[in-house]
Amino acid sequence: MAMSLASKFSKNFNFLNLLARYGLLENFLIEVLKDENNKEINLSMQRKEALLNDFKRKNKIDNSRKMDEYCKTHLLSEDDLKYFIEKEEKSKNYCNKFFATDFATRSFPKKNIEDIVSYSLLRVSEEGLANELYLQLTEENANLKQLISKYSEGPEKNTNGIIGPSPITKNHPILIKQLRSAEQGQFLKPFKIENWWLIVRLESLVPARVDGFIIENKNYELYQNWLLSEAAKIRLSLKNDMDEESYFYSGGESL
């Protein structure tokens, strides 16, 4: 697809140069790629009407005169407007149809990458102190916040020791392993990461949903990456065409 689109644009270098000058070339190419892909997607009449009615409601268009005014103001025909209204819906459908399988094969094995964790952290530099504080917490029911405020040597001291909620992968691999092995509310025995001895209590671990919103976003992420890659191919092909044209007009002689 990239090469066929590049050949279509090869005689419009001035227009493409203008887009590039204003930083719009990549977005333009991506939108053209979407148009080509959307030719494979059909929307039902009911869905088209629903999209149009929703657009009219949001823009307070309740009669044909206001519709004409809107189109003229935005330099669009009514067909252009309908195309614009339906475009993102078609792109979304194309994305979910042709990139869902890619997501299943590439992203399901990495399901845990989206898990969200929250935990309390108390860290000290001495192993003996860490073991003593752990015993106070587990056998004497000491107050965790008070111990953090008094003994913790990291920035968590200023936030009652609470870390998160955030993606679990933002943490050190050793800590990730410990958190995955813990139960909610459980204190983990002191363990060392680099120069610190850590006491951790798991507050919550919310597994990723491998459906719905996350799948849709992963599909869209893959689709966007593909669009960027294809746009780059078009730019490279156009550059090569421009180089050849410059060579031709220079008489084929190098300086």
More confident residue, 21 or 222: 21
| Whole-number pLDDT of residue 162 | 86
State percent of the chain over pLDDT 70: 78
Q: Which of 37-46, 116-125, 230-239 has the lowest mean pLDDT?
A: 230-239
List all residues 6 or more positions away from 221 whose beta carbon is below 8 Å from its beta carbon.
none
pLDDT tens column, 30-56 = 999 999 999 888 888 888 899 999 999
Average pLDDT estimate for 146-155: 92
Q: Could you please report the per-residue DSSP string of 156-189? A: GGGGTTEEEEEEGGGS-HHHHHHHHHPPTTPEEE
Q: Which of 9-13, 59-63, 220-224 has the lowest mean pLDDT?
A: 9-13
> Which structural domains are found in the chain, ordered by start?
2-109+212-249 (no CATH), 116-206 (3.10.50.40)
Q: Is the pLDDT of residue 10 over 70?
A: no
| Whole-number pLDDT of residue 229 | 87
| Whole-number pLDDT of residue 197 | 96
Average pLDDT estimate for 162-170: 84
| Whole-number pLDDT of residue 241 | 67
Radius of gyration of the chain (CA): 29
- Whether the CB-CB separation of 29 and 12 falls below 8 Å is answered with no
| Whole-number pLDDT of residue 94 | 86
| Whole-number pLDDT of residue 61 | 93
List all residues 6 or more positions away from 93 whose beta carbon is below 8 Å from its beta carbon.
41, 43
Q: How far apart are CA 11 and CA 15, in angstroms?
A: 9
Q: Across 88-92, 122-126, 204-208, 248-252, which has the greatest mean pLDDT? A: 122-126
Average pLDDT estimate for 166-184: 89
pLDDT tens column, 211-224 = 555 556 667 777 88
Average pLDDT estimate for 155-171: 83
Average pLDDT estimate for 225-252: 71
112 pLDDT band (50/70/90 cuts)? very low
Q: How far apart are CA 110 and CA 128, in angstroms?
A: 38
| Whole-number pLDDT of residue 208 | 62
Element (H, E) at 202: strand 196-206
Mean pLDDT of the chain: 81
| Whole-number pLDDT of residue 230 | 86
Q: How far apart are CA 175 and CA 200, in angstroms?
A: 9
| Whole-number pLDDT of residue 213 | 52
More confident residue, 70 or 236: 70
